[in-house]
Structure formats: C-alpha cells, structure tokens
Amino acid sequence: MPIPLPRLFDYLPPAGDDGSDPVGCRVRVPFGRNGEKVGVVAAVADADTAPAELKTVAARLDPAPLLHGELLDSLRWLARYTHAPLGEALATALPGPLRHGEPLPDTRRW
C-alpha cells in the first residue's frame, strides 16, 4: 500500500480464493479504523504462519498480476535504492485510476 511506513502489511487471503499466485495483483484491504486501501501483493507467506489476529483481504481486484517479473524486481530495487517504502514504489508503477481500485480498462480492438 502506498503508505509512508517502511514495512509491509500482512492479510489473510479472501474467502473463496482460487489459490493462484496473487503476487503483483491489486487488492482492497481494511486499513485503519473504518477505511479501506488498495495495495499490491508483494509476497505470500506460508499458510502455517498466519496469526489469528490478521484481517482478511476484502477483494482481489485483478485475476492476473499487473506487476510481475522484471518490472516487480525493478520496483523492489527502486525501493531499496531510494530508501522508499516498497508500497510507495509499487504505486508509482500504476496509473492513478488503478491506484484507486478502478478496473483495468478494456483495450482490445475489434
């Protein structure tokens, strides 16, 4: 999430998750007292390490990762090089509407 804190936040997968790799996908999560934020999944932990106090992801916004491979590696490098939080570095790769949870526009041409 594009939060100016030098850490990542842990959440449980949403109910009915299909089990596909969510790294690089956008998710909507509960954050703060009454709010929700849109963030990008940066990593997946082992299922055995999920504590009971974790909140659940409200929704997975993308069926396939928007950020993957070399782009994701480059953004991780950017965060380390500039000493920026990873969430803010990941957010720089997304256009404004996608950062706010809007769907990816259909760009197919007929």
The structural domains of the chain, with segments of one domain joined by +, span 26-97
Other Cβ atoms closer than 10 A to 12 = 15
Query: What are the structure tokens assigned to 71, written together?
Result: 């782009």
- Work out the angle at residue 86's Cα, subtended by the Cα atoms of residues 85 and 88, and round it to the nearest 5 degrees: 70
| Local structure of 78: helix, strand or coil | helix
Are 100 and 38 in contact, with CB atoms under 8 Å apart? Answer: yes
Distance between CA atoms of residues 66 and 25, nearest Å = 6
Model pLDDT, residue 48: 65
pTM over 0.85: no
Distance between CA atoms of residues 29 and 49, nearest Å = 19
Query: What are the structure tokens assigned to 20, written together?
Result: 């596909």
Mean per-residue pLDDT pooled into runs of 10, the chain (110 residues): 84 82 91 89 76 85 90 94 93 89 79
| Local structure of 40: helix, strand or coil | strand
CATH superfamily of 26-97: PriA, 3(prime) DNA-binding domain (3.40.1440.60)
Model pLDDT, residue 85: 94
